[in-house]
């Protein structure tokens, strides 16, 4: 039995049975550069934006406006905007997974 998981940008691999199998973890796979992580997330969000309802697009747009591509955003504002984006991505299911992973990478890169 083998399984792969992604938790907050960390890749966890398990092979064999849970009690006696081999477990490995690769930490910090995402970009260490906060701006690179943000650019990757923006790209993922743009793809998702075209696949959600008008109400969800509004949440995404308001959140992205709060973040801004070239702004110094306070951590609380950034965290709330990321939570809103992640919430939309979670609600749409499988298609939102790349955005959720990108949000986790941004959070890690910004120390949130």
Mean pLDDT, all residues of the chain: 78
Global confidence as pTM: 0.68
Residue 11 confidence (pLDDT) = 53
In sequence order, the 6+-apart residues with CB closer than 8 A to the CB of 82 are 63, 67, 103, 106, 107, 112
Residue 21 confidence (pLDDT) = 53
Q: Which residues of 46-85 are buried (b: 16+ CB within 10 A; e: fewer)?
A: eebbeebeeebeebbeebbebbeeeeeeeeeebeebbebb
Residue the block writes with tokens 């092979």: 15
Task: Report the alpha-carbon distance of residue 13 to residue 15 in Å, rounded.
Answer: 7
Confidence tier at 98 by pLDDT (50, 70, 90)? very high
Residue 73 confidence (pLDDT) = 78
């Amino acid at each position: 039995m083998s399984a792969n998981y992604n938790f907050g940008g960390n890749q966890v691999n398990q092979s064999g049975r849970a009690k006696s199998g081999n477990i490995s973890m690769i930490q910090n796979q995402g970009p260490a550069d906060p701006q690179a992580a943000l650019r990757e997330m923006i790209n993922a969000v743009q793809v998702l934006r075209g696949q959600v309802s008008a109400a969800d697009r509004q949440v995404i747009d308001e959140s992205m406006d709060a973040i801004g591509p070239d702004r110094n955003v306070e951590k609380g504002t950034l965290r709330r905007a990321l939570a809103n984006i992640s919430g939309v991505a979670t609600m749409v299911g499988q298609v939102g997974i790349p955005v959720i992973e990108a949000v986790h990478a941004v959070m890690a890169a910004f120390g949130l």
